Amino acid sequence: MALLRHTTSETKPRSALTVNAAKTCQPVGAMYAALGIHRCLPHSHGSQGCCAYHRSALTRHYKEPIMAATSSFTEGSSVFGGQSNLLAAINTIFTTYDPDVIAVHTTCLSETIGDDIPQIIAKAKDKGHVPDGKLVIHANTPSYVGSHVTGFSNMVKGMVDYLAEADDLKAATFNVIPGWVEPSDMRELKRMMALLEVEPILFPDTSDVLDAPLTGDREFYPRGGTSIAALRKTGRSRHTFALGAACSAAGAQALSEKCRVPYTTLDLPIGLQATDRFVDAVRRTAGVEVPLLLQDERGRLVDLISDMHQYLYRKRVAVVGDPDHVVALSEFLTDLDMRPVYVVTGSPGKSFEERLHDRLQGRVPEVKVAQGAQADMLLLHQWIKQDPVDLIVGNTYCKYIARDEDIPFVRFGFPILDRMGHSYLPGVGYMGGLRVLLQILDAFLQRKDRDAPEESFELVM
Ligand code: SF4
């Protein structure tokens, strides 16, 4: 806090220094994606410290214990490579924990050494460490490039590379790659597909894994997650909907190249227009009607938007988070007649600014956009000091800026370390849009109550 209180409004060109990064490391995303496979044990090929960090980053957000194994690199492995550690780990994991699949992701150290994971997996099979019917998949996740978003995308692509099976005999299923969203969002996407009477294969799927109910029974592997059979079948699906270009497009493209499954890349269905586009894409591709229930949900969202418009009109907002989140959120905020004037993502990646401007359609000409290593929380804070905003939307790290500058704050994205609800209630779809809008309205109305002089302190808003 003391550090932030000394933040000045003067920005200086920086080429190497990052202060309070607006991203985290690749393996965190790979681990989250791997947890969305049924009976999968994620495995971090690196030091214990890396694995402890990845697990704690996810545990703090999802408030669930995160299971994962590690190659436990020592000085020896750092010099000679981690092959013997990974071989021993694969043997131990299958013998002791009996997963259906181990999903290995690499770390900075193993990538720097240059460990050849496919070769090590082949050797593990030769040595009989991989029992019949069991699988080992992998994704390269060097953390000195990309971010947790890249790691998620790489592991999704790994699922396709290892598991999807091509077949000319097409199934009736439609793949949905949901991107990095909450377990509640994955459940909501499945509910929407069910309402549309379309059979989805959602992968990965962390619902009933990271929001599993407390039953009193201990299940080492929760009942949720995409099954191996379903992942194999993705190669026979009629179409893939890749939600969020940064997280999902690479997997969809790999599936198209490997199994000739056509795909459509869409924004995360956060807010009115993005959800409309998702529903419409499913409707047209699958040749189905949009049911009244879904139309009514949309109507309720539109009703709330028009009823509460006076609290939203022209409010200046700072948005920070992952590329797929902030693109969709910024469009939603603009549709609410708010002005996302600062949009920041620490995750590198192609076409972010282009996608953002495409969604804003010139409606916020003053918008300032930053992406990459120097697009950090310091820069966001400095911009806010130069020209304040009425609201901040982003992850928990924004709370310091919100407190220092006394700005209403809505938590959205990853990580949220100090509040609950995000993994239980959706942020996608029309119902998710309703929830996000209510959070924004609550933030404004609570501020209004706090600051209102006695004579205008209202019972009814
Ligand atoms: S950034 Fe690299 S060294 Fe640090 S936790 Fe992530 S993988 Fe490990």
- Residue pLDDT tens, the chain, 461 long: 456 778 999 998 888 899 989 899 999 999 999 999 999 999 999 999 999 999 999 999 999 999 999 999 999 998 889 999 999 999 999 999 999 999 999 999 999 999 999 999 999 999 999 999 999 999 999 999 999 999 999 999 999 999 999 998 899 999 999 999 999 999 999 999 999 999 999 999 999 999 999 999 888 899 999 999 999 999 999 999 999 999 999 999 999 999 999 999 999 999 999 999 999 999 999 999 999 999 999 999 999 999 999 999 999 999 999 999 999 999 999 999 999 999 999 999 989 999 999 999 999 999 999 999 999 999 999 999 999 999 999 999 999 999 999 999 999 999 999 999 999 999 999 999 999 999 999 999 999 999 999 999 999 98
Which ligand 1 atom sits closest to the C-alpha of 53? Answer: 5
Helix (H) or strand (E) holding 70: strand 69-70
- Taking the centre of ligand 1 as the mean of its atom positions, its distance from the CA of residue 150, in whole angstroms, is 14
> Is ligand 1 within 6 A of the CB of residue 142?
no
Residue 204, preceding peptide bond in cis (omega within 30° of 0): yes
Q: Is the CB of 269 under 6 A from ligand 1?
A: no
Does the predicted model carry a pTM greater than 0.75? yes
Q: 51 CA distance to ligand 1 centroid (A)?
A: 8
Q: Where are the alpha helices (DSSP H) in 323-374?
A: 323-335, 352-360
CATH architecture observed for domain 26-152: 3-Layer(aba) Sandwich (3.40)
Ranges of CATH 3.40.50.1980 domains, the chain? 2-16+296-454, 26-152, 174-294
CA atoms 44, 91, 122, 169: torsion sign: negative
What would the CATH number be for the domain defined by 174-294?
3.40.50.1980
For the domain made up of 2-16+296-454, give the CATH fold. Rossmann fold (3.40.50)
Whether the CB of 147 sits within 6 Å of ligand 1: no
3-state helix, strand, coil in the chain (%, to 5): 45, 15, 40
The CA–CA distances, whole Å, from 158 to 33, 136, 204, 334, 338 equal: 10, 10, 11, 36, 39
Q: Which of 24, 48, 71, 107 for a ligand 1 pocket mutation test, highest count of atoms within 8 Å of Cβ?
A: 107
Distance CA(18)–CA(39), nearest Å, equals: 38
CA-CA distance, 127 to 341, in Å (whole number)? 58
* Residue 141 Cα: closest atom of ligand 1: 7
Residue 221's identity, in one-letter code, is: Y
